Structure 1
Amino acid sequence: MATIDVAAERDDGGDPVLEVENLHTQFPTDRGVVRAVDGVDLTIESGEIVGLVGESGSGKSVLAESVVGIVEEPGEIVEGDVRFDGESLLAMSDARRQAVRGGRISMVFQDPMNSLNPTLTVGEQIAETVRLHQDVGESVSLPAELKRKIVGAAKNGDAWRRAIEMLEAVEIPEPEARAADFPHQFSGGMRQRAMIAMALSCEPDLLVADEPTTALDVTIQAQILEELEGLKDEFDTSILLITHDLAVVAETCDRVNVMYAGEIVERAETEALFADPQHPYTQGLIASTPQLDEPDRDLQPIQGNVPDLIDIPYACHFAPRCPEAERECFEIEPEFRPVGDSDAPGDGGTHEAACLRRGPDGERL
């Protein structure tokens, strides 16, 4: 089976690695259309980690699946575009998109036990990815894959050696021996490391990490995040980090996008966002998060719940939960406006929020 050499197609031009423009992803149901992603714009520059944060049910994972091109039926992208190195992923042929996905764009899922194949060794699963997306001279035909599954992979092959190198890169002890183990023989943290090793095995330009530290204890979380930062530098990979954990964002990301009910409501440099949050939803998220330097501070949870994403009847999706909402907030759709102090540390003039109550004097309610 012929393979497409995507490594040779890398472009170091001036375009962002990823551009998401006015993206709408919907799921038809018996009750109506679920607008899981509702007009999202997002960019990722080369070599940066961009955070996507919000409550469960805000549409973060669907946005990630839309970027990678794995939205499950009956969901579909109905409007907008996703451009990778300036080229529309949505306009690509299926064969080319499959070559790009896994080769130049990889994804780490939040549940490594269900993402790894329990019938194959961890090393073979990484090696399979290498064979599929890199020219290592090893067949990926169905008979060859079945033979490897029955007999085992050749331990002197380039793909297998690459698998061991990647397990070593994510600091799994005794990588040569552990490559022959099955997923159930790995701890939760080691399975997540194996998923990261698989995702980075082809040195992708973009890694989409969907809640990569979920269900891990705080010590392992810190190790995984530290490794992601180190691997970003080692492999020159940009990262979209999806999480509901503000502490993870503050520690890891260069820029942050705050998502609520299918929409991005605020975006800024990380330092500026935490120093001067502007959108009432962002303020609510931070106020409801424990702070190590203020252990006696009372937490202030956001009242209410994320709305049903079927036919939201109000223009600002956060209006019913917002302590500052006026009548106009329910009727006028907010657009992004420059907010905050452009002279504040980390701002750089790129701090924006979609809120009628924020923005330049004379424009806000």
Structure 2
Amino acid sequence: MSSDRASPSTNESSDSTTGSSLLEVKSLKTQFPTSRGTVTAVDGVDLTVERGEILGLVGESGSGKSVFAQSIMGIVDDPGRIVDGDIQLAGESLLDKSAGDLEALRGGQLSMIFQDPMNSLNPTLTVGEQIAETVRLHQDVGESVSLPAELKRKLLGATKNSEAWRRAIEMLEAVEIPEAESRAGDYPHEFSGGMRQRAMIAMALSCEPDLLIADEPTTALDVTVQAQILDELRDLKDTFDTSILLITHDLAVVSEVCDRVAVMYAGEIVERASARELFSNPQHPYTQGLIASTPRLDAPDDELTPIQGNVPDLIDIPYACHFAPRCPEAERECFEVDPDFREVGEGDHEAACLRRGPEERRL
């Protein structure tokens, strides 16, 4: 698929044309030069996140979901770079901002929860101090941020009567850390995996961001803790009036908490719809394959049908529809013609597939 394909409803959607969406990503392309060629990890993605919603971004590992999140945050690993498109948050282009402006945005208007909280938390600082430092950086609490947090701790000790420290306690309580006041003085290694993830959520939400990006927030957690984390994310969205972009490969997670869903494959969005519509009426063959290969609690004896083949190497994909070699419905045109988005169901349900849509538009 090419980066210039357009949805037939683009000109009709007031959210995408008036800038009322909180996040609006347009034709975004992120590439990584390598010795073998250029990896296009994000290939012409168009996506919006509305105010007050949870949008799920799903797809297999290697489909470009995490690079998409890093592109929004402005933290793409070198030598990767955004080569085309735009990212607008509350009507302002993030790509036009300086490194300093982006740093100020991160943690303030824009926050992210990463997959591995143990590697994201500083092992030499208490959990409470790390949250308090985030508050000092992004909220006007009248506390110095000129000294590094580690030096400040050694010289002054934990400023437990400060506004930032009190805010840290409140956030740990908000994510249901038991005995939050005493646990704030613990180090990350003293927390369980689920508690570390809660601490990361507390840190991300400590400045009440407009948009929270959660990249596989329940990975490596047991099922019970996963459910607790998801429930808390849903509740915290309402408490802090924060929109959430939830990135996952787990369709069960998406069906549980998301309002809308976008399906990503090989760097591209191939289907988008409300969560209810997507799961009741999946249209793109890739989405159908994902659902068919996912166990269901209400039908545990159903036979699972895996998607044949693997996600392609993202270097110079030679066929128009990236899913064509794995698709049971693919015909010659699928390899040669870029599929545009077509209305395929209720509401704003769209899929980028030549085999879908009104009869008069099919090949």
- The two structures have a TM-score, normalised by structure 2, of 0.94
Q: Which moved more, 1:216-225 or 1:149-158?
A: 149-158
| Residue 81 (structure 2) pairs with residue 76 (structure 1) | yes
Counting only pairs closer than 5 Å after superposition, residues 122-141 of structure 1 correspond to structure 2 as: 122-141=127-146
Residue type of the alignment partner of 2:360: G
How far is 1:296 from its partner? Answer: 1.7
With over 3 angstroms needed to count, the CA separation of the structure-2 counterparts of 1:332 and 1:182, relative to structure 1, is: same
Q: Tell me the residue number matched to 1:254.
A: 259
Distance in 2, Cα, partners of 1:153 & 1:364? 65
Partner of 2:12: none
CA distance in structure 1 between the aligned counterparts of 2:324 and 2:200, rounded to whole angstroms: 39
- Residue 194 of structure 1 aligns to a residue in which SS? helix
In the alignment, structure 2 segments of 5+ residues that lack a partner are 1-17
Which aligned pairs between 1:86-165 and structure 2 lie closer than 5 A?
86-142=91-147, 146-165=151-170
1:221 aligns with 2:219: no
CA offset at residue 147 of structure 1? Answer: 2.5
**Distance in 2, Cα, partners of 1:327 & 1:142:** 63
CA contact (8 A) 1:120 1:149 kept: no
- One-letter code aligned to 1:250: S
TM-score computed with the length of structure 1 as normaliser: 0.93
Aligned residues: 346
Relative to structure 1, the CA distance from residue 364 to residue 165 in structure 2 (aligned partners, 3 Å threshold; closer, same or farther) is same
Cα RMSD after superposing both structures: 1.1
Using the TM superposition, give the Cα deviation of residue 354 of structure 1 relative to its aligned residue in structure 2, in angstroms: 0.3
| Distance in 2 between residues matched to 1:104 and 1:295, nearest whole Å | 42
Indicate the residue corresponding to 2:350 in structure 1: 352
* 1:3-42 correspondence runs (5 A): 15-42=20-47
CA distance in structure 2 between the aligned counterparts of 1:364 and 1:149, rounded to whole angstroms: 68
Aligned-partner residue type, residue 362 of structure 1: E
1:199-348 superposed matches below 5 A: 199-340=204-345, 342=346, 348=347
Q: Secondary structure at the match of 1:215?
A: coil
- State the secondary structure of the residue aligned to 1:171: coil
Taking the aligned partners of 2:198 and 2:285, their CA distance within structure 1 comes to 36
Structure 1 segments unaligned to the other structure (5+ residues): 1-12, 343-347
Deviations 1:269-302 (A, max 9, x none): 0000000000000000000001112222110000
Whole-Å separation in 2 of the counterparts to 1:171 and 1:102: 21
Task: Report the Cα distance in structure 2 between the residues aligned to 1:144 and 1:97, rounded to whole angstroms.
Answer: 21
Secondary structure in 2 matching 1:356: coil
CA–CA distance in structure 1, aligned partners of residues 209 and 156 of structure 2: 30
Contact 1:279 1:353 in 2 (8 A): yes
* 4+ residue runs over 4 A deviation: none
Matched with 1:46 is 51
Q: Residues 179, 325 of structure 1: CA spacing in aligned structure 2 closer, same or farther, 3 A cutoff?
A: same
Amino acid at match of 1:34: V
Distance 1:149 1:36 in 2: 43
Q: CA deviation at 1:336?
A: 0.4
SS across alignment from 2:234: helix
Task: Please point out which of 177, 180, 184 is paired with 2:182.
Answer: 177
Give identity over the alignment, percent.
Answer: 78
For 2:142 and 2:29, the matched residues in 1 are separated by: 40
Amino acid at match of 1:323: P
* CA positional deviation for 1:148: 2.3
